[in-house]
A and B are shown apart, each in its own frame.
Chain A
Amino acid sequence: MKKRGIGYGSMFYGLGYGFSRTDIASATLEISQDGSIIARSGEVDYGQGSDTVFCQIIAEELGVDYSAIKLITADTDVTPDSGPTSASRLTFVGGNAFIKTSRSLKKILNGVAEDILGASDLVFREGMVFSRSAPEKSISFKKLAGRAYARGVPAVVTEWYNNTTQDVDPETGQGDAYATYCWATQMAEVEVDTETGRVEVLRIVAVTDVGKALNPLNCEAQIEGGVVQGLGYALEEEIKEEGGYVKTGTLGEYMIPTSLDIPTIEVHLLEVTEPKGPYGAKGVGEPALIPTPPAVLNAVRDALGLRIHKLPANLENVYHLINGAEAGN
């Protein structure tokens, strides 16, 4: 028989390292005489899109085209220390570092531009620098860079952002341990085949407070990826070991979902501005994955009236749950 159920999983997650642990990121910008920008960061983009967001931030701050920026990341020969790529902290900590660096560089360029244009209400936008009150007083960003170079002003700027927080009270464990918290809830709808133990996830609805979606498509993709990882965690992934040897050492044996196993994933981005975040943004990485397993397992419980305590909720474990026997392996 096939039984359906719906379950929810909710989480909050402290972003960054918290508890007074060092949480810093540095970022470097270098401007060439042709106006191209070389950015350096120690943060690693392993698919989550941090490179994209960093370039967006620099482009936004300096009013230049995204394509004017060359970003070099995660090369210890040339990139500054930006702390580890973890804790869903890249946009928040690394992004704030790039805002600071961009603003420092802009201040230098602004000084040169004020001098050249004879105006002090300058705007950097779409590759131009101009006076807000007298827009005809203008110079292209590229030209400005060349003029700044000719004057010998600093062309390399490094700033860092310190996200280290207070510790909690050692006596009571109370306090504000993290710079900010991410929130997410997911709903899962499943169908359980009671005669085989197979759990099919029919639908996931994910609602995530992202603070501000600096790149909505990135946020959605990140959340979809997290959901898929969570589905694998709940239903498939298992390290088997025998006599000290891992028996599931390849992706043929260690099961993660394929594209055919992925249900409809409905993503809703909630934008609740975080004052400390870059333009109000928070992290998305881990919050995307955390609610999925509990949502799926609660849905299994809703379908069967039984709670599974042995993961993954695979064929054998679910079948034995239904039939009251302990799984053999």
Chain B
Amino acid sequence: MQSYEYYAPRSLPDALEYLAENAKNCRIIAGGTDLIPALRNEDIHPAFLLNIMEIAEVGGISETEQTVRIGAITTFNDLAESGLIRKEFPILSEMALSVGGPQTRNRGTIGGNIASAAPAADGLPVFLSLDAEVELSSRRGKRNLPLNEAIAKAWTPAWGNDELITAIRIKKLPSGTRTAFYKLARRQAMARSRMTISLILRRDPAGIIEELRFVPGSVMPVPRRMEEIEKLLTGKVPTDELLDQAARAVGEEMVKVTGIRWSTGYKKPVLGNLFRIVLSQLITAG
């Protein structure tokens, strides 16, 4: 058992004040699905615990003409149940439903998923494929940071310890854009991803790929867009040969980042296969 001071304010300024005062030894707790196991395992020893689940400004899903703002304490089930999300970013709904089990989805939040920065996180790669921004708040003020600059290394955010994520912001996708999320795991629920594929695709009427964004999950220490692969396909008609070529390149790109590990013999070819399968399905779907 550990002991720590626990604070659950209702106002954001109160929370930010508390965080700034105790920054060094304070941990934010949202759903607690990553944090509580870490406390139990004695991986972390905070002196202060700041619960942000009672703060209205950190929740809710809203839209403007151009963007959608998703509060950091939005749970996976909130996300899955949102009509706005299903309409604008079905990839997020699919991802949300693939997480853990019903209990995990009731508690786990998107802010916590990003802040944990786990290599096997399911939310993080999808938000990266959507070119999301994190809205960070602190006593010093508010700033927006592109998500691809927000993770320093595995398990480590790049923002200050007096800051917290208040929301995720995503630009709406141009019409005709299709998205897909695929999770390969050892079982159908309560399973860490073995690999995930997040794809955003838009083609012109002639079938030429205008835009492709691809983020593999669970294969690199920090997920990121595979721009080399995106470039290989953008501006082209995705023929079978081209897709095969891209699938092979996906494995090569992965190995450039990870080097050869025990799992490479499996992950290298299979990541390419999954990329080809999921992309082909997106293409035939429209």
**Is B171 interfacial (CB-CB < 8 Å)?**
no
**Is B174 interfacial (CB-CB < 8 Å)?**
no
Known A-B contacts A320-B266, A325-B265; A260 and B189 likewise in contact (beta carbons under 8 Å):
yes
Q: Which chain B residues lie closer than 8 Å to A316 at the CB level?
A: 263, 266
Q: Which chain A residues lie closer than 8 Å to B192 at the CB level?
A: 252
Task: Name the one of B186, B194, B264, B269 contacting A236, with C-beta atoms under 8 angstroms.
Answer: B186
**Is B184 interfacial (CB-CB < 8 Å)?**
yes
- Give Cα A320–Cα B266 distance, bound, in whole angstroms: 7
Whether A258 pairs with B187 at a CB distance below 8 angstroms is yes
Known A-B contacts A196-B273, A196-B274, A258-B101; A319 and B266 likewise in contact (beta carbons under 8 Å):
yes
Q: Which chain A residues lie closer than 8 Å to B187 at the CB level?
A: 236, 255, 257-258, 260-261
Q: Which chain A residues lie closer than 8 Å to B270 at the CB level?
A: 195-197, 315, 319
A54-83 contact mask (Cβ, 8 Å, vs B): 1 or 0: 000000000000000000000000000000
Q: Which chain A residues lie closer than 8 Å to B263 at the CB level?
A: 316, 328-329
**Is B188 interfacial (CB-CB < 8 Å)?**
yes
In residues 161-201 of chain A, which contact B (Cβ within 8 Å)? 195-198
- Give Cα A236–Cα B266 distance, bound, in whole angstroms: 17
In residues 233-269 of chain A, which contact B (Cβ within 8 Å)? 236, 252, 255, 257-261
A residues engaging B (CB < 8 A)? 195-198, 236, 252, 255, 257-261, 314-316, 319-320, 323, 325, 327-329
- Give Cα A315–Cα B194 distance, bound, in whole angstroms: 9
Q: Which chain B residues lie closer than 8 Å to A314 at the CB level?
A: 186
Whether A315 pairs with B266 at a CB distance below 8 angstroms is yes
Centre residue among B189, B263, B266, B277 by max chain A CB count within 10 A: B266
**Is B154 interfacial (CB-CB < 8 Å)?**
no
Centre residue among B189, B263, B270 by max chain A CB count within 10 A: B270
- Give Cα A252–Cα B187 distance, bound, in whole angstroms: 11
**Is B191 interfacial (CB-CB < 8 Å)?**
yes
The count of chain B contact residues (Cβ–Cβ below 8 Å) is 20
- Residue in B closest to A255 when the chains form the complex, CB atoms: B186
- Residue in A closest to B271 when the chains form the complex, CB atoms: A196
| 5 smallest beta-carbon distances between A and B, as pairs | A260-B188, A195-B273, A258-B189, A328-B262, A260-B189
Q: How far is the CB of B271 from chain A (nearest CB, A)?
A: 10
Q: Which chain B residues lie closer than 8 Å to A252 at the CB level?
A: 190, 192
- Give Cα A328–Cα B266 distance, bound, in whole angstroms: 8
Given A195-B274, A258-B191, A327-B266, 20 other A-B contacts at CB below 8 A? A195-B277, A196-B184, A196-B270, A196-B273, A196-B274, A197-B266, A198-B184, A236-B187, A252-B192, A255-B187, A260-B187, A261-B187, A315-B194, A315-B266, A315-B270, A316-B263, A319-B270, A323-B269, A328-B262, A328-B263
In residues 243-273 of chain B, which contact A (Cβ within 8 Å)? 262-266, 269-270, 273
- Residue in B closest to A260 when the chains form the complex, CB atoms: B188
- Give Cα A255–Cα B190 distance, bound, in whole angstroms: 9
User: What are 26 A-B interface contacts by the 8 Å CB criterion?
Assistant: A195-B274, A195-B277, A196-B184, A196-B274, A197-B270, A236-B187, A252-B190, A255-B191, A258-B101, A258-B188, A258-B189, A260-B187, A261-B188, A261-B189, A314-B186, A315-B186, A315-B194, A315-B270, A316-B263, A319-B269, A323-B269, A327-B265, A327-B266, A328-B264, A328-B265, A328-B266
Q: How far is the CB of A263 from chain B (nearest CB, A)?
A: 11
Q: Which chain B residues lie closer than 8 Å to A196 at the CB level?
A: 184, 270, 273-274
Q: Which chain A residues lie closer than 8 Å to B277 at the CB level?
A: 195
Q: How far is the CB of B264 from chain A (nearest CB, A)?
A: 8
Q: How far is the CB of A178 from chain B (nearest CB, A)?
A: 36
- Give Cα A323–Cα B262 distance, bound, in whole angstroms: 16
- Give Cα A128–Cα B134 distance, bound, in whole angstroms: 76
- Residue in A closest to B194 when the chains form the complex, CB atoms: A315
- Residue in B closest to A312 when the chains form the complex, CB atoms: B186
Q: Which chain A residues lie closer than 8 Å to B262 at the CB level?
A: 328-329
Q: How far is the CB of B227 from chain A (nearest CB, A)?
A: 24
- Residue in B closest to A250 when the chains form the complex, CB atoms: B37
- Residue in B closest to A316 when the chains form the complex, CB atoms: B266
Known A-B contacts A196-B270, A258-B101; A320 and B186 likewise in contact (beta carbons under 8 Å):
no
Q: Which chain A residues lie closer than 8 Å to B191 at the CB level?
A: 255, 258
- Residue in A closest to B267 when the chains form the complex, CB atoms: A316
Q: Which chain B residues lie closer than 8 Å to A323 at the CB level?
A: 269
In residues 183-212 of chain B, which contact A (Cβ within 8 Å)? 184, 186-192, 194
- Give Cα A323–Cα B270 distance, bound, in whole angstroms: 11
Whether A315 pairs with B188 at a CB distance below 8 angstroms is no
- Residue in A closest to B277 when the chains form the complex, CB atoms: A195
